[in-house]
Amino acid sequence: MTEPTPSPIPPAANPGAADAQVHVFSPNAGLIDGVPVTAPPYGDIQDVVLSILQQRAQQLGAPTPATITDNRYGGAIRLLIHPDGTTEQLG
């Protein structure tokens, strides 16, 4: 009987993995890795983005690094989003 071949480690589980690229354009619109995301009426795009990145971390079973560029404020930040939803700022 043969054992199943383990699947490769997901990119986000690797310490040198490429960050998810997030661009926020307004309080209710942005992109995650080029895919449009929107917040519901009276919602906030920040909550939507963090929720999607948390789901990604849960699916991968490892923290997801992300670079978030927010055009509303003209700045960028690097975060590590953990499967439990906690975040930490990266250098």
- Looking at every residue in the chain, the average pLDDT score rounds to 85
Residue recorded with tokens 């990604």: 56
Question: Comparing 14 with 30, which gets the higher pLDDT?
Answer: 30
Of 2, 54, 63, 4, the closest CA to residue 32 belongs to 54
Q: In what order do the strands lie in the sheet with 29-32?
A: 35-38, 29-32, 20-26, 64-70, 75-81, 87-89
pLDDT score, position 71: 92
Within a 10 A sphere around the Cβ of 77, how many other Cβ atoms?
Answer: 14
pTM flag (> 0.75): yes
**pLDDT tens digits for range 17-52:** 689 999 999 999 999 999 999 999 999 999 999 999
The answer to whether residue 4 scores a pLDDT higher than 50 is no
